[in-house]
Amino acid sequence: MTPTQEDGLEPPHIVVLDGGFSTQLSCHVGHVIDGDPLWSARFLHTHPNEVVNTHLDFLRAGAHLIITNTYQASVGGFVEHLDMTPEQSYDLIMRAVDLAKQARTLYLEEYEDYIQNDLIPLVVGAVGPYGAHLHDGSEYDGSYADTTSVQTMREWHRPRIQALVEAGVDLLALETIPCQEEAEMLCDLLREYPNIKAWLSFSCKDNQSIAHGECFQKVAKKCWEANPEQLVAVGVNCCAPSSVSNLLKGINDDRPHAPIPLIVYPSSGEKYNPQIGWIDRDKCEPVEVFIQEWLDLGVRYVGGCCRTYAADVSRIRNQVHCWRDRWRFQHRYQANTSPQN
């Protein structure tokens, strides 16, 4: 299920992603999740049924895909914080894929009379940045790239990607990547798995730069050109919705006939205070108010990240439907009023 080329008759297909996994999971477990060195990945071990139900929430809300609960999962992290062997840790990453597949099976059974074969939801393997497992805040600015070799990052990522691929994900999400070196390494590492595709999304510190400071558009284009055969989209996630349009505007101006497919799944815009948690929700515009503007800019994959719930996914999907209806109206009007007619 990937966006197809626009044929002039029908609007482009838009893929609706899920929302913030830990945010929705908190509705089921009643635990404080933020601040844990494993974040929501701990619940693969302690609350697997709640993980399944969280995936189900997003599918019922209208998501076209679900992303595995593995953003902060790693073999070393599970060994250190769950007292597992490396083999058990590897199996737990694979288990995350099985839990997502269970949710998809339950959803397909619930809605078997309404789902067409070409609309079966995808299971996407989450691959968060190296800095996330350090649990020192460096994932937010990419500063670990200044002291960590590319080879160290590669060897850390390889077993978790291998586990996701072995477990049968449909796609990989190389997400919340804050620095150019890691992004380029992941695009190269992806070649070791020639039968899998991925999207690549960056965390950004403002409306021009990724978190480590490099120019978003330059890095995004370089990564796309490094592996266009396996990347399905490039974009941003876990950033403020208000920053997205400026990050994306003009990125495809020099490629009008072969635009890079864009992906966006921002946070709610709230700020995280380590002492008291999430703040300033009342100061944030809802993600859905930006959706049609982003689609006009060429975004073809859209969803939510931190602090977005299943209810937000429903509202995002509604905005996608509204945009497609507007697209049809505008293009039919233009066709009817063109000089040829």
Q: How far apart are CA 219 and CA 179, in angstroms?
A: 9
54: pLDDT strictly greater than 80: yes
Sequence-ordered alpha helix ranges (H) in 198-309 = 216-226, 241-248, 291-296
Provide the residue ranges of all domains of the chain, joining segments of one domain with +: 15-328
Q: How far apart are CA 237 and CA 241, in angstroms?
A: 9
Is 176 within 8 Å of 129 (Cβ atoms)? Answer: yes
Residue 200: strand pairing partners: 174, 234
- Could you report the per-residue pLDDT of 261-275, keeping only the tens digit for each? 999 999 987 776 656
Q: How far apart are CA 264 and CA 271, in angstroms?
A: 19
**238 annotated among ligand-binding-site residues:** yes
**305 annotated among ligand-binding-site residues:** yes
Mean pLDDT of 115-128: 90
- Could you report the per-residue pLDDT of 302-311, keeping only the tens digit for each? 999 999 999 9
Q: How far apart are CA 182 and CA 150, in angstroms?
A: 7
Using DSSP, state whether 37 is helix, strand or coil.
coil
Q: Does domain 15-328 have CATH number 3.20.20.70?
A: no
- Could you report the per-residue pLDDT of 246-260, keeping only the tens digit for each? 999 999 999 999 999
- Residue % of the chain over a pLDDT of 90: 82
pLDDT score of 9: 76
Report the predicted TM-score, pTM, of the whole model to 2 decimal places: 0.93
